[in-house]
């Protein structure tokens, strides 16, 4: 596919060589003068506004020049070919009017076509991500079914160990912890096997985005020793949004990643004004490997570095897809102010209120 600049050069050459040919064959009186406006109309329907405008101006200038300067067409000696000059002027004026109107309509139709094409590409991208999500859901359900048996075995063994070491309190504490974690795994696997539309009890009411983040941060503080810093001084919006499981899961995924990879601190900033609401999640960890930064948001990522903490990118993929499904713009990269990763999540307020 040729670039816009190359297309502009080709169309300009077509206009100029056609103008030279018309100059040598009667100028404005040549009935084929109509072909002079075709390149600019084509440009309006397929190229940018500035290029199209420049070609329209060039074509208009050439029509005016060909009205006054041209080589007359040869005609038989006994045939009078005298035309009133006002006829020439009317032809040039009609051509310029046609040029303007045709380019206007071509530009309008071209813009509409581009918008429809972008919408179609967007829809195909969303459908592809939905397919990935459904595929992951099926794999999760299969994993939940397969892991049920080994977890039951661990639970039985832990109960037997409790009986054997009932006099050893230190060992009993470890076994109780093991049993509680097995029970937690069972609960998680049970949720994976249920209908995903089922309501989550984590947040059970409509609250503001600030309260969303507060609840999520508190849930991580209970199980993590990391320092969570939540800055919301620049948040000027207090409107409540409808409870969305997808937003909760998406935010928990990104905050959970920051908690997992940070050394000590997780910084969450909430900013909003009359038009936009933005959340930034930063950590002081190693950040994203450079070789996967361009691919962040795709599932099953592999880095060239052997890092025991590196994953497959499924958490980011799921979180990004769920948030984008709810009208969010999500950008993942490395922080410019800290050593770790940074995730920016942004909504238009009117779309956030309509969730």
- How many Å apart are CA 47 and CA 33, to the nearest integer? 23
Q: What one-character-per-residue DSSP string does 126-185 give?
A: HHHHHHHHHHHHHHHHHHHHHHHHHHHHHHHHHHHHHHHTTT-HHHHHHHHHHHHHHHHH
Residue 224: count of CB within 10 angstroms of its CB = 15
Question: Which token pair is 35?
Answer: 């072909």
Residue 1: count of CB within 10 angstroms of its CB = 4
pTM above 0.75, yes or no: no
Q: What is the pLDDT along the chain (355 residues), one digit of tens a residue?
A: 678 888 889 999 999 999 999 999 888 888 899 999 999 999 888 888 889 999 999 999 999 999 888 888 776 665 555 667 777 788 889 999 999 999 999 888 888 888 888 877 777 776 776 676 666 666 666 777 677 778 888 888 888 888 888 888 888 888 888 888 888 888 777 766 655 545 455 666 788 889 989 989 998 888 888 999 999 999 988 888 887 888 888 898 899 999 988 999 999 999 999 899 999 999 998 888 888 887 787 765 555 555 545 555 777 888 888 888 888 999 999 988 888 899 999 999 988 888 7
Question: Which token pair is 61?
Answer: 């200038």
Residue 26: left (phi > 0), alpha (psi -120 to 50), or beta? left
Distances (CA, A) of 303 to 147, 340, 342: 28, 16, 18
Sequence-ordered alpha helix ranges (H) in 165-284: 169-193, 209-221, 245-261
* Phi, psi (degrees; rounded to nearest 5) at 280: -120, 135
- How many Å apart are CA 272 and CA 279, to the nearest integer? 9
> Who's near 289: CB < 8 A, 6+ residues apart?
303, 304, 305, 307, 310
Contact by Cβ (8 Å): 140, 192? yes
* Phi, psi (degrees; rounded to nearest 5) at 139: -65, -40
Return the CATH number of 207-353, one of 3.20.20.70, 3.40.50.11030, 3.30.450.20, 3.30.565.10.
3.30.565.10
Task: Report which of 89, 41, 102 is spatially closest to residue 63, judged by C-alpha positions.
Answer: 89
Contact by Cβ (8 Å): 224, 259? yes
- Given the structure tokens 């038009």, which residue do they identify? 275
């Amino acid at each position: 596919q040729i670039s816009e600049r190359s297309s502009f050069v080709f169309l300009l050459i077509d206009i100029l060589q056609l103008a030279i040919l018309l100059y040598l064959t009667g100028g404005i009186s040549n009935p084929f003068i109509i072909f002079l406006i075709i390149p600019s109309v084509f440009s309006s329907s397929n190229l940018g506004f500035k290029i199209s405008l420049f070609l329209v101006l060039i074509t208009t200038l050439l029509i005016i020049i060909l009205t006054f300067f041209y080589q007359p067409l040869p005609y038989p000696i006994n045939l009078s070919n005298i035309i009133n000059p006002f006829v020439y002027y009317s032809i040039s004026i009609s051509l310029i009017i046609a040029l303007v109107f045709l380019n206007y309509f071509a530009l309008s139709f071209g813009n509409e076509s581009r918008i429809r094409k972008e919408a179609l590409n967007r829809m195909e991208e969303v459908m592809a991500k939905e397919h990935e999500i459904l595929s992951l859901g099926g794999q999760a359900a299969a994993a939940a079914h397969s892991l049920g048996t080994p977890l039951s075995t661990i639970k039985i063994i832990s109960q037997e160990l409790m009986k054997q070491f009932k006099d050893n309190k230190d060992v009993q504490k470890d076994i109780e912890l093991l049993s509680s974690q097995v029970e937690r795994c069972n609960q998680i696997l049970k949720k994976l096997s249920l209908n995903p539309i089922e309501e989550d009890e984590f947040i059970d009411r409509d609250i503001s985005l600030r309260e969303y983040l507060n609840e999520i941060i508190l849930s991580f503080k209970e199980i993590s020793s990391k320092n969570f810093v939540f800055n919301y001084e620049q948040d000027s919006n207090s409107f409540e949004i409808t409870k969305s499981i997808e937003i909760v899961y998406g935010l928990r995924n990104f905050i959970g990643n920051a908690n997992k990879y940070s050394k000590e601190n997780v910084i969450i900033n909430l900013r909003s004004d009359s038009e936009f609401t933005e959340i930034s999640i930063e950590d002081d960890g190693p950040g994203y490997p450079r070789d996967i930064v361009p691919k962040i948001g795709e599932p099953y990522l592999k880095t060239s570095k052997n890092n025991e903490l590196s994953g497959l990118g499924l958490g980011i993929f799921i979180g990004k897809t769920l948030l984008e499904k709810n009208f969010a713009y999500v950008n993942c990269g490395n922080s410019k102010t800290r050593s770790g990763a940074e995730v920016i999540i942004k909504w238009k307020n009117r779309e956030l209120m309509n969730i």
